[in-house]
Structure 1
Amino acid sequence: MALESNEFPDKSISKFESMLKTDDIYFFDAEDFEEIIHHYLNNGKISLGKKAIQIGLEQHPNALELKLLHVEVLVFEDKYEEAGRLLDQLQDIDSRNEEIYIQRANIQSKQDNHQEAVNLLLEALQITEDSFDIHSLLGMEYLFMDDFEQAKRSFIKCLEFDDKDYSSLYNVVYCFEFLEDFDGAIHYLNEYLERNPYCEVAWHQLGKMYCTKNMYTEALAAFDFAIISDDSFIGAYFEKGKVLEKLGKYNEAIENYETTISIEDPTSHAYLRIGRCHEKLGNNDLAKYYYYNTVHEDPLLDKGWLAITDFHYKLENYEKALYYINKAINIDGENPLYWKKCAKIYLALNNFDEADFAYKQTVDLGNYELGTWKNWADVLKKIGDFGSSIQVLVQGLEFYPESAELTYKLAGIYLKNNEIIKAKEKLAQAMQMDIEKFQLFEEEFPELNKIKWLQTLVSEIKKTST
Structure 2
Amino acid sequence: MKFNHEEFEDQNFSISRYERMLRSNDIRFFDSDEFESIIHHYLENGKIAKAKKAISLGLSQHPSSVNLKLLEVEVMIFEDRLDKADHLLAKLHAIEPENEEIYIQKANILSKKNKHHKAIELLNIALTYTTDEADVYSLIGMEYLFMDDFENAKTCFMKCLEMDNDDYSALYNIIYCFDFLEQHQEAINYLNLFLDANPYSEVAWHQVGKQYFDLKEYKKALAAFDFAIISDEYFVGAYLEKGKVLEKLKKYNEAIENYKITLELDDPTSFALLRMGKCYERLGCQDLAIQHYSKTVHEDPLLDKGWIAITDFYLKKRNYQKALYYINKAIGIDSENVLYWKRYAKINNRLAFFEEAERGYRRALELGNYELDTWLNRTDILRFIGENDAAIQNMHQAIEFYPENAEVQFRLAGMHYEKQEFNQGEFHLRKALHLDKEYSIILEELFENVYQLSLVQNIIKQY
TM-score (norm 1): 0.88
2:246 counterpart of 1:244: yes
Q: Displacement, 1:299?
A: 2.2
**For residues 360-375 of structure 1, what are the structure 2 equivalents within 5 Å?**
360-375=362-377
Match of 1:184 among 180, 186, 190: 186
Match of residue 204 from structure 2 = 202
- Do the aligned partners of 1:386 and 1:416 also contact (CA within 8 Å) in 2? no
Deviations 1:295-318 (A, max 9, x none): 222222222122111111111111
Range moving further from structure 2, 292-301 or 53-62? 53-62
**For residues 30-429 of structure 1, what are the structure 2 equivalents within 5 Å?**
30-54=32-56, 56-57=58-59, 60-128=62-130, 130-429=132-431
Distance 1:424 1:247 in 2: 54
Give the AA of the match of 1:137: L
Give the AA of the match of 1:407: Q
Distance 1:181 1:407 in 2: 43
Q: Displacement, 1:339?
A: 1.5
Give the AA of the match of 2:431: Q
Give the AA of the match of 2:93: Q
Q: For residue 102 of structure 1, give the secondary structure of its aligned residue in structure 2.
A: helix
Give the AA of the match of 1:81: D
Give the AA of the match of 1:426: H
Call closer, same or farther: CA 1:356–1:55 in 2, change over 3 Å: closer
Q: Displacement, 1:58?
A: 5.3
Give the AA of the match of 2:289: A
Call closer, same or farther: CA 1:382–1:55 in 2, change over 3 Å: closer
Distance 1:217 1:425 in 2: 57
Deviations 1:407-437 (A, max 9, x none): 3333333344433333333233234334455
Deviations 1:212-245 (A, max 9, x none): 2222222222222222222222222112222222
- Do the aligned partners of 2:277 and 2:289 also contact (CA within 8 Å) in 1? yes
TM-score (norm 2): 0.88
Q: Displacement, 1:449?
A: 4.7
Deviations 1:63-111 (A, max 9, x none): 4333333332333343333332332222223322221111111122233
Call closer, same or farther: CA 1:439–1:330 in 2, change over 3 Å: same
- Cα RMSD, aligned residues only: 2.8
Deviations 1:166-218 (A, max 9, x none): 11221222222222333332332232222222222222222222222222222
Q: Displacement, 1:161?
A: 1.7
Give the AA of the match of 2:251: K
Range moving further from structure 2, 72-81 or 101-110? 72-81
Give the AA of the match of 2:141: G
Deviations 1:323-357 (A, max 9, x none): 22112222222222211111101111122122112
Q: For residue 282 of structure 1, give the secondary structure of its aligned residue in structure 2.
A: coil
Range moving further from structure 2, 56-65 or 274-283? 56-65
- Do the aligned partners of 2:138 and 2:160 also contact (CA within 8 Å) in 1? yes
Q: For residue 401 of structure 1, give the secondary structure of its aligned residue in structure 2.
A: coil
Give the AA of the match of 2:90: D
For structure 1, which runs of at least 5 residues remain unmatched after alignment? Answer: 1-5, 462-466
Q: For residue 368 of structure 1, give the secondary structure of its aligned residue in structure 2.
A: coil
Range moving further from structure 2, 292-301 or 123-132? 123-132
Give the AA of the match of 1:200: E
2:434 counterpart of 1:432: yes
- Do the aligned partners of 1:16 and 1:26 also contact (CA within 8 Å) in 2? no
Identity %, equivalent residues: 55
Give the AA of the match of 2:317: L
Match of residue 3 from structure 1 = none
Call closer, same or farther: CA 1:25–1:388 in 2, change over 3 Å: closer
Distance 1:265 1:85 in 2: 49
Distance 2:234 2:316 in 1: 37
Match of residue 457 from structure 1 = 459
Q: Displacement, 1:275?
A: 1.4
Range moving further from structure 2, 170-179 or 443-452? 443-452
Q: For residue 462 of structure 2, give the secondary structure of its aligned residue in structure 1.
A: helix
- Do the aligned partners of 1:101 and 1:124 also contact (CA within 8 Å) in 2? yes
For structure 2, which runs of at least 5 residues remain unmatched after alignment? Answer: 1-7
Give the AA of the match of 2:191: L
- Do the aligned partners of 2:320 and 2:351 also contact (CA within 8 Å) in 1? yes
Distance 1:396 1:226 in 2: 50
- Do the aligned partners of 2:413 and 2:426 also contact (CA within 8 Å) in 1? yes
Give the AA of the match of 1:133: D
Give the AA of the match of 2:314: H
- Do the aligned partners of 1:339 and 1:361 also contact (CA within 8 Å) in 2? yes
Distance 2:254 2:435 in 1: 48
Distance 1:22 1:361 in 2: 58
- Do the aligned partners of 1:19 and 1:26 also contact (CA within 8 Å) in 2? no
Range moving further from structure 2, 47-56 or 372-381? 47-56
